[in-house]
Amino acid sequence: MKHSRYLFFCLAALLMAACKKDDDPNDTVIREVVFESDKQEISAGDSIVFKDFTDGYVTHWQWNFQGGQPESSTLSAPKVIYSQPGTYEVTLEVKNAHTQKSITRKAYIKVDYNRVRADFKTAAAVYFQHEDVKFRDTSAGKPQTWAWEFTPLKGGATLRSTQQHPVMKFADTGYYRVSLTASNPQFTDQVVKENFIRILDPASISADFTSDQPATYAGGKIKLKDVSMGAVTGWEWTISGPEAHASTDQNPEFTFTLPGRYKVSLKVSNPYNSHVKTMDKFLLVIPSGNLSAFVPFNHSAIDAGPNGIAMSAVGGGVAFGQDRFGGTGLSATFNGASGVLLADHAATNFGADDYTVSLWVKTGSNSKMMLWQESGRNGSKDNQTWIRLNDNTSDRRMRFCIEDGVGSTFVNLGAAGNVSDDAWHHVVAVRSGTTTAVYVDGVKVGSATAPALRTVSNGQDFKIGFQEGAAANSSYFSGQLDDVIIYRKALTDAEVLALYQL
* pTM exceeds 0.75: no
CATH 2.60.40.10 domain span(s) along the chain: 30-112, 120-200, 209-286
Nearest CA to 213 out of 341, 356, 327, 292 is that of 327
Task: Name beta bridge partners: 373.
Answer: 386, 463
Q: Are 118 and 139 in contact (CB under 8 A)?
A: yes
pLDDT at position 17: 38
Q: Is 120-200 CATH 3.40.1130.10?
A: no
Task: List the end-to-end C-alpha distance of the chain, in Å, as a whole number.
Answer: 119
Nearest CA to 73 out of 63, 88, 60, 58 is that of 63
Q: Are 487 and 431 in contact (CB under 8 A)?
A: no
Sign of the torsion angle spanned by Cα atoms 329, 330, 331, 337: positive
Sign of the torsion angle spanned by Cα atoms 226, 229, 235, 236: negative
Q: Are 311 and 454 in contact (CB under 8 A)?
A: no
Q: Are 42 and 112 in contact (CB under 8 A)?
A: yes
pLDDT at position 11: 41
CATH 2.60.120.200 domain span(s) along the chain: 291-501
Sign of the torsion angle spanned by Cα atoms 473, 475, 479, 481: negative
Q: Are 37 and 53 in contact (CB under 8 A)?
A: no
Q: Are 430 and 491 in contact (CB under 8 A)?
A: yes
Task: Name beta bridge partners: 62.
Answer: 93
How far is residue 148's CA from residue 142's CA, in Å, rounded to a whole number? Answer: 16
Q: Are 83 and 68 in contact (CB under 8 A)?
A: no
CATH architecture of 30-112: Sandwich (2.60)
**Class (C level, CATH) for 291-501:** mainly beta
pLDDT at position 21: 37
What is each CA distance from 199 to 174, 204, 460, in whole angstroms? Answer: 5, 11, 55
pLDDT at position 460: 94
Nearest CA to 434 out of 406, 386, 402, 405 is that of 402
How far is residue 38's CA from residue 373's CA, in Å, rounded to a whole number? Answer: 66
Q: Are 270 and 281 in contact (CB under 8 A)?
A: no
3-state secondary structure of 318: coil
Q: Are 342 and 348 in contact (CB under 8 A)?
A: yes
Nearest CA to 367 out of 403, 334, 405 is that of 334
Q: Edge-to-edge strand order for the sheet containing 253-255?
A: 209-211, 221-226, 253-255
Cis peptide before 451 (omega within 30 of 0): no
Q: Is 209-286 CATH 2.60.40.10?
A: yes
Q: Residue 499: phi, psi to the nearest 5?
A: -60, -45
Nearest CA to 368 out of 386, 341, 343, 348 is that of 386
3-state secondary structure of 497: helix
How far is residue 292's CA from residue 309's CA, in Å, rounded to a whole number? Answer: 9
Q: What is the pLDDT along the chain (502 residues), one digit of tens a residue?
A: 434 443 333 344 333 434 333 444 445 789 999 999 999 999 888 999 999 999 999 999 999 999 999 999 999 999 999 988 999 999 999 999 999 999 999 999 999 889 999 999 999 999 989 999 999 999 999 899 999 999 999 988 999 999 999 999 999 999 999 999 999 999 999 999 999 999 988 888 999 999 989 999 999 999 999 999 888 999 999 999 999 999 999 999 999 999 999 999 999 999 889 999 999 999 999 999 999 999 999 999 999 999 999 999 999 999 999 999 999 999 999 999 999 999 999 999 999 999 999 999 999 999 999 999 999 998 888 999 999 999 999 999 999 999 999 999 999 999 999 999 999 999 999 999 999 999 999 999 999 999 999 999 988 999 999 999 888 999 999 999 999 999 999 999 999 999 999 9
Listed in sequence order, the DSSP H helices in 223-379 are none
Q: Are 170 and 129 in contact (CB under 8 A)?
A: yes
